[in-house]
A and B are shown apart, each in its own frame.
Chain A
Amino acid sequence: MIVADRKPIEEIIQQVEAHRNVLILGCNECVTVCEAGGKKEVGILASALRMYFINNGKDMRIDEITLERQCDHEYLEEIRDRIDRYDAVVSLACGVGVQFMAEKYLSKPVYPGVNTCFLGVTEKRGLWTERCQACGQCILANTAGICPISRCAKRILNGPCGGSTKGKCEVNKDLDCAWQLIVDRLKSLGRMDDYEKLFSIKDWSTDRAGGPRKVVREDVQI
């Protein structure tokens, strides 16, 4: 999923204080799972903002809506009949949702309410970690199912570097060395011979290096 984290409320206050009618717009997908932008967080943020503006003597209307998704037309269309009631929207969706909202409602200011962080997993409640950088050409078949692009601080394809110590990365002792994980798993799979295969220079044109990307599937287009 796309993992996001809540923005400091001070930053959101700064964004919205010039407005009078603000919609806090949540998303029922990834940001709900990572507890950054779902219905619950929409409620918490809206209450906090209301309290702040009441305490500061400002008349501010703050409404709450949470959509099924903000990355699909049909769900964003659900607010078309109500959008004109608001001067601005704080979207708690990931950066994808914020942008799709902005594209759809051209004259409406939209502010991000979360920081979009990475593609990752829930290791346990309250701990989400990165697994994928969407490079566009998956190499996991050759790295024992562990991605050095997203999990090695230097995205080294022929690792580990000389900074790997006791299974941890040189950048941070709390961070697993991706190549230690790869070697451990190659051993478990009985495939240590694969370690010595040289990884050739990667084609990054499918990564962000190639510019904004698109996937076109004519076979499923209507």
Chain B
Amino acid sequence: MTTQTPSKLEKILAAGHLAVTSEVGPPRGSNPKHIEEKGRLIKDYVDAINITDNQTSVTRMCSLAACIRLKLMGMEPVLQMVTRDRNRIALQSDILGAASFDIHNILCLSGDHQSFGDCPTGQNVHDIDSIQLIQTVRHMRDDGKFLGGADIDRPPRMFVGAAENPFADPFEIRVPRLAKKIAAGVEFIQTQCIFNLDKFELWVKLARERGLTEKVHILAGVTPLKSVGMARYMKNRVPGMDVPDDVIKRMAGTPKEKQPEEGLTICVETIERLKSLAGVHGFHVMAIEWEEKVSEIVKRAGLYPRPAVES
């Protein structure tokens, strides 16, 4: 399978390996140590590391700067970019900035609404949406042009990703929306955290029946639960999150001190079950403020060591 970019993630997927990605949230300050430590902790267990972009609309160190830090340490960052905070000038400009450091992966998102974060009285931008951001990056990369039509000197060479939430409503358009993202030019998808496996498998099946899984690499999103409290919070408070009652029951039925272990086991079981699902090409491990457990999850799920690819 040919590749379009120098992205290590793209190469691993093109070679037919199950890819593993994870993510790191930048700090609420300018100290680079946190991001570097988190990166070091997981780098040998994943193929690429997403850096979130002011997730949940809470102001943090910018994704681009954090990506550059990881890149300079020899890691493979995925630049998450939301359309909430930047207009088309700023988006294209940041893409070029990332490209100048040879950041080869981007994840195009709309972003959580700012009312969830620390600046609820702020404006949002939404000049373009996440699907149009996919189009923008592909246009810049493949046509070598700005949206305004001018030529780009040394166009970005980015493997283009997006998120997809099979659990959001209405369910019936979740596969058509994936088709729209593919039509816009997306090359890999990282999904919302999967706890409802039956629904996820149905979504992949419907995508497969439309031939979509041949056109895009789907990385299944998994998150280890730390406690039953976290499970309940995600079920009740996080928009678009589907945590079935049997998962809550299983966590609640576990003694408190053993709940983190149980959460990790559920996560590993999820990966084990989905590994053989046709159409799933890898996993995106979102260990929220629990990065030290990524290595254990990856090892226990039989995804270690990570494949080597020529750079």
Chain A positions near chain B (C-beta within 8 angstroms): 153-167, 170-171, 177, 180, 183-184, 195-196, 198-202, 204
Q: Per-residue CB proximity of B194-230 to A under 8 Å, as 1/0?
A: 0000000000000000000000000000000000000
Could you tell me the distance between the alpha carbons of A95 and B294 in the complex, rounded to whole angstroms? Answer: 55
Chain A residues contacting B147 (CB-CB under 8 Å) are: 201
Contact A166 B113 (CB under 8 A): no
B192–A162 touching, CB < 8 Å: yes
- Bound CA span A180–B172, Å: 11
* 155-191 of chain B: CB within 8 A of chain A: 163-165, 168-170, 172-173, 176-177, 179-180, 183-184
Q: A165-B239, A171-B113, A201-B147 are in contact. Are A196 and B129 (CB under 8 A)?
A: no
Interchain Cβ contacts under 8 Å between A and B, 9 examples: A158-B177, A159-B129, A160-B168, A160-B170, A162-B164, A164-B168, A165-B168, A180-B169, A198-B180
Contact across chains for B135 and A183 when beta carbons are under 8 A apart:
no
- Chain B residue numbers with a CB within 8 Å of A183 are 170, 172-173
Task: List the A side residues contacting B136 at CB < 8 Å.
Answer: 201
- Count residues of chain B with CB under 8 A from any CB of chain A: 35
**Residue of A195, A198, A200, A201 touching B173 (CB-CB under 8 A):** A195
Contact string against A for B residues 102-140, beta-carbon threshold 8 Å, 1 for contact and 0 otherwise: 000000001111010000000010111111100110000
Which B residues fall within an 8 A CB radius of A? 84, 88, 110-113, 115, 124, 126-132, 135-136, 147, 163-165, 168-170, 172-173, 176-177, 179-180, 183-184, 192, 239-240
Q: Kindly name the residue among A161, A164, A204 whose own CB sees the greatest number of chain B CB atoms within 10 A.
A: A161
Known pairs A156-B126, A170-B113; A162 contacts B176 (CB<8 A): no
Cβ 8 A contact of A164, one of B112, B135, B164, B169: B169
